[in-house]
Structures are given as C-alpha cells and as structure tokens.
Structure 1
Amino acid sequence: MKNTIYSLIALVFLMTSCTKNEHAVPPQTISKKQKLSSTNTQVSVKDFGAVGDGTTDDTQAIKTVMAYAKTNNIQTVYFPSGTYYIKGTGSVGIIPLLNGVSLVGEGRDVCKIKLSSGRFNPPALFFQAWWDEPAVSNVTISGIDFDGDIAHQTYMDTFQYCHALSINNGENINVNNCRFENFRGDGVLFGDVNEPSLNLRIVKHVVVHDNDFKSIYREGAMFCTTNSAEFYNNYVHGTGYLVGGVDIERHSVHEQVTNVYVHNNIFDFRDGTGPIERGKIVKYRRAVAIGFFYDGYTNNTADTLSGGHKIDNNTIYQGQIDCYNHINVSIIGNTFSSTNEDLSGVTHVTAPAILVSNFKGNEIGLINVHADNNNITTTMPNGGISFKGYTNCQANGNTLTGATINMPAQDGIALNNTIH
C-alpha cells in the first residue's frame, strides 16, 4: 500500500488503451458433433478443441468457446477435469472475460488452468478488456484451480500485476470453490484505480467464498472501486501477500470503496513468509488491509466514499488487521494468534493485531471504528489494539493475552476488556 510500491498501477490500466483490438474473437459456428455435447445453458471447452493435457496450448480454444457462448446466449463454459495450459500472450491480459459468460470447472482438485512458464512480467490470466467489454456482469467462476506458476517466471522487482482474475466494471459476480495459487499480482481483483471521474468503472455485488488462496505475491483479493462485496469461508495461506490477504483500498477521490464484508475466513501465515521486498523475510503479515493513502481526501476531510466495512469472525495466525483513513468500520469477533518476530525494517505491516490510524495525521472526520469482542493471544510487543487520530471509536469486550489496548481519550472509549 506504499506509494512507491503502487505507483505503477495506474500505468498498467492506462496501457490498455493501446491494445483495444488485440483480443477480439470473431463469432464462431459449432459442428453437429459439438451440438450433441452442448446444451442451451452450458458448453464444454473440449468441444472446441481444448485438450487439457498440461502441455498443449489451450488458449485459443478457451477464447473461442467463450465467444461462442456469448454469441449464442449460453450461460456457462464448462471445464472437465484436466490441466489447461495457457501459452497465449497479451500486454494487459491473455483471455478476456465476457459479460454473462461463467466459467465452471469439474472441481479445483481435478481441473486446473495453468500459465505457461518462462515468461517475463506476465500479464493477467483472465481479465476484462473494458474497451471491448464495458461490463462483465452476471458471472460465476467456480471449481477451477488457477495457477500462475510464479516459480518459473521472471519479474522486475517492482512488478506485481499478473492476476488470476481482474474485473474493472460490472455487477453480480460470484467466485467460489476455486484455488488461486502462485500469482505475482492478485488472486482476484475487483474495480479500477485513479479514475478521472467518480466511479467511471466500479464493481458491485461481488461474492467470493469457499476458495483456497495459496502463495499470492501481492494480495489474495483486492477490492478497489467496489460497492457491496462479501469475502467469506476462504483459506488464505502460503508465501507472499506483500500488501495483505485481503486489500480494501481507495486510491483517489474519484473512487468509491464501500460495504466490503470479510468474515469467517482463515488467514494462516505460519506456512510461508512475506516477500523479501518488504525489507526482510518474516511470517507476520496483514490479513486484512484497509486504506486510503496517496493524495487522500479533498481538503483533508473524510467523505462517505470509503468505509462501511465489516471484518468479523475471522481466524488469523501470525497476522493483523489494519484500517487507515476509512470510516464506519467494525472489527468484531476475530481471533488472533501470533508469536514474536522482529519487524524492524519490515514494510507493509505493524505489530498491533488491530491498528486504526490516521495515515497522514492531518485528516479530519475519521470516525466510528469499533474493535469489539476480539480474542488476541500474542507474544509480539505492542501486539494488541491501537487507535491513533480517529474519534468516536470504541474497543469493548476484547480479551487480550500478552497485549494491551492503546486508546487515547480523544479517539474513543475502551470498556469491559479482559487483559491477561
């Protein structure tokens, strides 16, 4: 979330204006044989030449079947068991997502879509080519293992844009029972950044549930320019997470990031480490990062376009939740368990299990963050709950073992907490 880390994001989105037609796929016809295995609601990638043997390039077959599905109002492209190898290229992404076309696999343990190895700064695997497809809505992604093969790619040190799925504008999106592993960017990314006008592109009504996020370099899931999203029953673990397991982030005053609900997930950072780019290697990372940095609010006065989030009933090992400059946030009923690590020189993380802070120190109107009924067990110094530069906040009913609560009087009140 640091300016120097994210300064290239806007450039990546702007690059799309130079590649407006490179992913266009012409309408397709279907043979008599193919008709026998297709229905009015579903068509199989193997009917269009996909092999799924882990070596044959299935890029064009997937593009073709998706285009056919859209042209013929078929709701779902089905991926039978197999490993679908993607050797295709693109400047921003490889396979464009299409409005109303869902991708459903036989199951994430038997169905994989894998990026080919030996790439330098690879683009997103599936993405929205918004110049051709202004909205990607009414889409389900389910039952697929998406593998970016990060160990066999090479990157610039600052590169972090190889996502599994990227959707900039649309609504009614459901991502479930998938696995996202080994990507340099995000597992899933929703919304856009640095818009020239308010909510030029925005994603609404997103549900991400029952997925496995494993070893994603930047974030498991990123929500920017998003209104109404839910992230639940997911397992986030492994190496990586430069910014966090889930990142809820606003980048400019022309964006809205509201009403993101993160609950009943497991964030387990014991089985991996953060990337060396954070300064040095430690396990401790952000489970949920909430922020508005960069230029901040107009006249340094908070508005209502970043906040309304609920972060509830998550289990977090060796990690934290932080909230910078969003308002009306509840952090309730989470369980934290962490052991001491030396965080000196490490960026993108702080010691408190829950940190609520005025990032620049001069923003006004930062209000109403509740940290209630959390259970924190830690040997991390200053690993409890900390507030700074907010008002009308509360920390009530928490149980802390090995930690305390830092709640300045001007920030709010702390009541009925148990400190061991």
Structure 2
Amino acid sequence: MEDPICYVSVKSLVNMCFHNMQELVEFECQKWMQKGVNVKYVTRTNRNGYKAGALKEGLEKEYVENCEFVAIFDADFQPDPDFLWKTIPYLLENPKLGLVQARWKFVNSEECMMTRLQEMSLNYHFSVEQEVGSSTYSFFGFNGTAGIWRIQAIKDAGGWKDRTTVEDMDLAVRASLKGWEFVFAGDVTVKNELPSTFKAYRFQQHRWSCGPANLLKKMTKEILCCQRVSLLKRLHLIYAFFFVRKIVAHWVTFFFYCIVIPACVVVPEVNLKKQIAIYIPATITILNAVCTPRSMHLLVFWILFENVMSLHRTKASIIGLLEANRVNEWVVTEKLGNTMKQMNNAKPSTSRTPWFRITERIHPLEIIVGMYMLHCAIYDLFFGHDHFFIYLLLQAGAFFTMGFGLVGTIVPN
C-alpha cells in the first residue's frame, strides 16, 4: 500500500471528442502529480488486441513491478473517493482472493425507456447471478470494469488474452482454474452510463453474447482437463455458467417466444399448454424483474424488449460457436453523455440528408420477424381460440418499433 501508483487507461471515448478527453485526463493527472501523488498517464498509439491489448501493455510497464493490485475502470465509470478503502481490505485479509468485483450504478437509467429496461436486466445480473456466485463460493465472471485484481492472480492465469471479445471472462475462468477465489462486494457501487442508442446497445449485446460462446468452444477441453479444481466445479462452469446462461437462455427465449408460439397458432394440431406458454415464463420473468421494484410497472415492455434482443443474442452465440464472420468484431460501445447529446441536438447535422439518417436506422431482420408474428396474430384473431393474438400483436409491435429504430435516444450524426 506504500507509494501507490495510479494507472489511467483512456478508452471507450466518443470519436468526436477523443482528443479533448485525452487532454482533460492528462490535465487531471498533471494536477495530482503536482500534489506529489505518483500518477502515470499512459496512452497507446494502436488498438492491437483492443482492451486486452491495452491492459496487457499496461501491466508490462516497469513501475508495475512495485504494485500488488490493479484497479480497472472503463472511461465512463466514476468510482467514489473511498473505493480503495472499501475493496482493498478484502484482498489483504484473504491471500487466496484474486478479484474483488464491485456493483454498477447507472447515472442515466431515467434517460429513456431503453435505459430503464437495461437497468432491470443488469440489476438481476448483479443481485442474483453475481451475488449467488460469490455467496456460494462458485464461479462468477469478472465484469471487465469496477474491479480490483491481485496482479499475481493475473500472472498465474497467463495474463490478458485477446483470443475472444470477452477478455475479462477469459481471465476470470483461467484464474478460477488456478484456484484463485473471487468476491462480489455488492455494497460498493461505481457510477457509470448505460448505452442509450439502439445501435450502440446492439453492438454491445453482440459482443457480450458472441464472446462467451466462442470462449466456451476454445476452453472446454482446458476446463475438463484441469485437475486443480473439483470435477463438480468444472461441470458447473461448463454447463451452468456457459451452456445454460450464455447460450441456451438466449436460444430458448427466442425460439419459444418468437418461433414456437407463433407456429402453434398456424398449426392447430399442436396444442401448447397454458402452464408452459404463460405461467412458467411469467414466474421466471417476475423473478427477473423483482430486483428493480421501481420498474415493475414496465414488466410487459421488458418482456417484449428482451424477446427482440434474444434474436440478436441467439445469432451472436451461433456466430461465436461456429467462429463465423464478426466473431472477433470489437466496436466500442458509445456512451455519449447528456452534455454531448444536448450539444448535438442543438447543432443539426448538415453532412447527411434526412433520408439517409432514416434508412440507416432501419433493421431488416427485426422487421421480417415482426411481419411473421403479425401474420400469425391476424390468423389467430380470425381462426384461433387461445387468444394468443394479444401477445403476438404486442410482440410484433415491439419488433417493428426496434426494426425502424424508434427506441432509445436518437442522436443526430
């Protein structure tokens, strides 16, 4: 803890203000240097390896040899001044602990409907998935930011690797197989921003769904052959963490809600029990949404939104398993901030015609699925008896809304 070093990595910045942000960060670092704090300001001249490459290069600096821990934050994250006081004691008390993961707190969750729905999904992730994984001493993944690693754990795991787009999960899996333990500090929150444009959110979800599927393909043999951890933990890692949560969950959601239910309407010989079609999914959905009580009234919108996004997550997971095109696509998730949006809205773009801005927001895949569900809804309205058309009309409307880019914050180019 003596002579601490702060390593600042500048990334995930909006292209139009990249150089201004660099100057601001450099100015802030210079201010602390003048106060006698040992701060190092480092930037890269290339994007080799993307985030994994930046983290790997940062840990190769000479001054890191005098450090025991490394704190990692994305550019839009705002840790409180007492963040280290709340997290470092975990690592000092338990020498087997390799990672302390903090919880995310969203500063723009009220910005639009899409950010409210994202908050519901992520609150479930932290309140249930991360909390349960930590409490039961089973595996849970590193979220890529707002966490502190023991540098020795990173070295034992083989360092950062850029073989997939989920370098954070890759490192966490390898460190876990080496016997390192993780803890989730749910009472420590770090402010950050949610992507508020549909385009940015789609790119983010593609990376978050494609990366784990691709990592499962690359690491299945390595996990099974590891003798350092128990067979039960290895099977839990492959089946529960990867296969069920990262692949099957997307496939079941999309094929059940968007393919099977509509198909049952036009194929009357198939009788879908209401317990399967309504009661069980409704119970699961309520359990997901209960982590954000203030948004319970948005439950129906959340279901429709998640069903549409399951289309992209399913496609991305298949791309990851097959290592097809876009498997290693890395598009920085734009976090524009309210100030930037207000500035853009105050200065209408003259570089592109309004027609071009409209067409670039159209997503044909959502529109095609929406037309399929609308056809099934009309058929059920005239010939059906189960009233599935109520759900199908709502879901078709959700596909059309997102297919024409009418969701999220619209920022002029």
Answer 1 or 2: higher relative contact order, Cα 8 Å, separation at least 6.
2
- Give the strand-richer structure, 1 or 2: 1
Q: TM-score range by the shorter chain?
A: under 0.3
TM-score (norm 1): 0.27
Q: Highest Rg: 1 or 2?
A: 2
TM-score, length basis structure 2: 0.27
In proportion to residue count, which structure has more helix? 2
